[in-house]
Amino acid sequence: MRRPAVRSLRGRLLVGTVALLVVGLLAADISAYLALRRFLSERVDNTIELVLDRGLARARLAGQVMPGAGVEQLVPANAYVALYDSEGQLVLARLPLRHGDTRPPTVPPISALPAHPVTIGDDPETALRVRRELLPPEQALPVEINGQVHSVTGLVVGVSLADNAATLRRLVLVQAVAGLLIVVLGVALARLVLNNGLRPLRAVADTAREIGRGNLRQRVPVGDPRTEIGTVATALNEAFDQRERSEALTRTFVADASHELRTPLSAVHGWADLYLNDGITDWDGVDEAMRRIRTETTRMGALVEQLLTLARLDAHQPLARDEVDLGRVCADVLDSLRVTAAHHRLTLAVDERVTVTGDPAALRQVVQNLVGNAVRHTPPGPPVEVRVHRDDGEDAVLVVHDEGPGLDAEGLAHAFDRFWRADPGRAAPGGTGLGLAIVRDIVGAHGGTVALDSAPGQGLTVTVRLPATTA
C-alpha cells in the first residue's frame, strides 16, 4: 500500500510540473499573440503608406484630370478612401466592403485627423486604420466627379482591421486547443516520469518497514549511486549497517556482562549457601567467607562501574573541557598505586609541563587503567615506566611501558575488544577485560589515538596521543 507521504510528494511534484508547463505555455502564447498583433498592425500601416505613395505617383504621371472611379481603383477593396478639395470639403468617399450587417465607423473630417496613422472605432470587426495626406496647392490633383473637376489637396486612406481581428481570433483558438492538448499530454508524461522516478523511494519505504519489523539484513536497492536517490539509498544502507552492528555489539556486550557477573555472583551465592547450610562451624570460617564475599562484591562493583563508563561513552555524553596537566595526573595515579603495588617499581619521566583540554576524571581513568594493567601483568621487580612529553609541539604523548610477557599478533588485534583477556598464563586475577576498551573510547572522545607495541617476551608499550593545548 502506498503511503500518504509518497502520494503527497508525487502530488506536489505533479502540481508544480503542471504549473510550470501552464505558465510557460501562457508566456509563449501571450508573446506570440503580441508579436503577431504588432506585425499585423505594422503591415496595415505599410499598406496605407503604399496606397498613398502609389496613388499619388500614378496621378501625377497621368498629367490630366482623373475620374473619380480611377481614384477608387487605386485602393484595395477593403480600404477606405476620401478626397477633399482646397476648401476642406469632402468631394469623394468610398467605404470598404461590408462585413455582414456591420458598418465601418464614421470618419472624422480631415482637419480632425493627425498626420500619423490612427485607429477609428472600438469594435475590431469594423475599426479602421486611417492616415491623412495634405498636398500643397501647386500639387493639387484634378479629379472629375459627377462631371465637375475638383482640385484635390487632401486625401484620407484607411484599411479595415477586420482581417487582423479574424487572424488573431484564429491564433487564440489554435493556441487554446494546442495548449490544452500539451497540458493533457504533459500531465500524462509527468505522471509516468514521476511514478518511475519515485519507485525507488517506495522501495526505500518498503525496506525501512521490513527492517523495522526485525529483518535487519534487508537493504535498500541502490541503483545508480550517482543519482540523488542512489545517494540517499547508500546513506540509508550505511545507517542500517551501523544499526545492525550496534545491536550485535549490544547483544554481545549484554551476554559478556552477564557472563562476567555470573562468576562473582555464583561465588557469593556459594559462600552464603555454605554458611546457611552449616558448612562453616567456626569464626575463622565465617571470616574467610566474609572476606571472599567482599572480594567478589568489590569485583562486581568495579565491573559495574566500568560498564557504566562504557555506556556513557557509547551514548556520547559530553565530557568536561578543562585544562589538565597530564604530568600531574600521572604523578597522582602513581602515588596512589604505590600503596597497593608496593612490590613494583613505578617510574615517571616528565620532560616539561604538558597540558591538554579534556575531562580530568576521564583522563585520570585512562592513566589508572594503563598503569594498573601493566602492574597486574608484570611480575615484581621489573619497572613499569610512565613517560609524558610533547611531540613536535602539537601532541601530548603518554607512554606506559612494562616488562611483562607481552602480546602476540593475535593478542594485539583483540586487545581493545571488550571482555577480551590474554591467555590464562598472562591474565592476572581482578581483570575484567574492559580496561583497554575504556581507554580507547575515552581517548577517542578527546580526539586522540592509542597504539600498542609488543612482542612475546618483550613487554607491552602503550602510546597515547592527545591534542595538546598551546604552550
275 and 137 part of one domain: no
| Residue 61 belongs to a domain | yes
Of 289, 317, 345, which marks where a domain is finished? 317
Q: How far apart are CA 17 and CA 19, in angstroms?
A: 5
| Residue 203 belongs to a domain | no
- Do 223 and 237 meet the contact criterion of CB atoms below 8 Å apart? no
70 and 156 part of one domain: yes
| Residue 20 belongs to a domain | yes
135 and 23 part of one domain: yes
Full DSSP string of 151-178: EEEEEEEEEESHHHHHHHHHHHHHHHHH
Q: pLDDT-based confidence at 359, cuts 50/70/90? A: confident
43 and 109 part of one domain: yes
pLDDT at residue 158 above 60? Answer: yes
- Average pLDDT score over the chain: 79
CATH of the domain at 27: 3.30.450
Q: pLDDT-based confidence at 387, cuts 50/70/90? A: very high
Torsion of CA 400, 401, 406, 409, to 10 degrees: 60
pLDDT at residue 62 above 60? Answer: no
pLDDT at residue 368 above 80? Answer: yes
233 and 285 part of one domain: yes
pLDDT at residue 103 above 80? Answer: no
Q: How far apart are CA 217 and CA 241, in angstroms?
A: 8
Give the mean model confidence (pLDDT) for residues 102-120: 79
Range of the domain at 229: 222-317
Buried b (16+ CB within 10 A) or exposed e, 181-204: ebeeebeeebeeebeeebebbeeb
CB atoms under 10 Å from CB of 74, counted, come to: 18
Q: How far apart are CA 128 and CA 104, in angstroms?
A: 7
| Residue 192 belongs to a domain | no
155 and 301 part of one domain: no
Helices (H), 315-433: 326-340, 360-376, 409-414
Q: How far apart are CA 166 and CA 125, in angstroms?
A: 8
Three-point CA angle 299, 305, 307, nearest 5°? 100
18 and 163 part of one domain: yes
Three-point CA angle 127, 132, 134, nearest 5°? 170
Query: 101-115, 215-229, 363-377, 445-459: which has the minimum mean pLDDT?
Result: 215-229
Q: Could you tell me the three cell numbers for 127?
A: 475599426
SS3 242: helix
Q: How far apart are CA 177 and CA 360, in angstroms?
A: 79
Q: Which of 36-45, 152-161, 206-215 has the highest mean pLDDT?
A: 36-45
pLDDT digits (tens, 9 = 90+) for 123-147: 877 888 888 888 888 777 787 777 7
- Do 206 and 199 meet the contact criterion of CB atoms below 8 Å apart? no
CB atoms under 10 Å from CB of 27, counted, come to: 10
Q: pLDDT-based confidence at 154, cuts 50/70/90? A: confident
| Residue 207 belongs to a domain | no
361 and 306 part of one domain: no
Q: How far apart are CA 464 and CA 326, in angstroms?
A: 11
Q: How far apart are CA 217 and CA 239, in angstroms?
A: 12
Within 273-416, strands assigned E span 322-325, 345-350, 355-358, 383-391, 395-402
pLDDT digits (tens, 9 = 90+) for 406-457: 888 887 787 877 767 665 444 344 556 777 888 888 888 888 999 988 878 7
| Residue 19 belongs to a domain | yes
Higher pLDDT, 319 or 223: 319
508579436: which residue's cell? 35
CB atoms under 10 Å from CB of 48, counted, come to: 22
Q: pLDDT-based confidence at 150, cuts 50/70/90? A: confident
Identify the pLDDT of residue 36. 93
SS3 454: strand
Q: pLDDT-based confidence at 58, cuts 50/70/90? A: low
pLDDT digits (tens, 9 = 90+) for 216-264: 677 777 666 677 777 777 777 777 777 777 777 777 777 766 766 776 7
- Do 334 and 348 meet the contact criterion of CB atoms below 8 Å apart? yes
Q: How far apart are CA 459 and CA 370, in angstroms?
A: 13
Among residues of the chain, what percentage have pLDDT more than 70?
83
Identify the pLDDT of residue 176. 92
pLDDT at residue 7 above 70? Answer: no
Q: Which of 55-59, 231-235, 362-366 has the highest mean pLDDT?
A: 362-366
311 and 328 part of one domain: no
pLDDT at residue 119 above 80? Answer: yes
Of 317, 333, 366, which marks where a domain is finished? 317
Query: 237-251, 273-287, 361-375: which has the minimum mean pLDDT?
Result: 237-251
Identify the pLDDT of residue 185. 92
Identify the pLDDT of residue 307. 72
Query: Into how many domains does the chain fold?
Result: 3
Query: 170-184, 349-363, 422-436, 454-468: which has the minimum mean pLDDT?
Result: 422-436
284 and 412 part of one domain: no
- CA 237 to each of CA 224, 341, 368, 406: distance values in angstroms, whole numbers, following the listed order: 14, 50, 39, 40
256 and 115 part of one domain: no
Identify the pLDDT of residue 409. 82
Among residues of the chain, what percentage have pLDDT more than 90?
11
Q: Could you tell me the three cell numbers for 98?
A: 461590408
pLDDT at residue 169 above 70? Answer: yes
CATH of the domain at 232: 1.10.287.130
Higher pLDDT, 252 or 351: 351
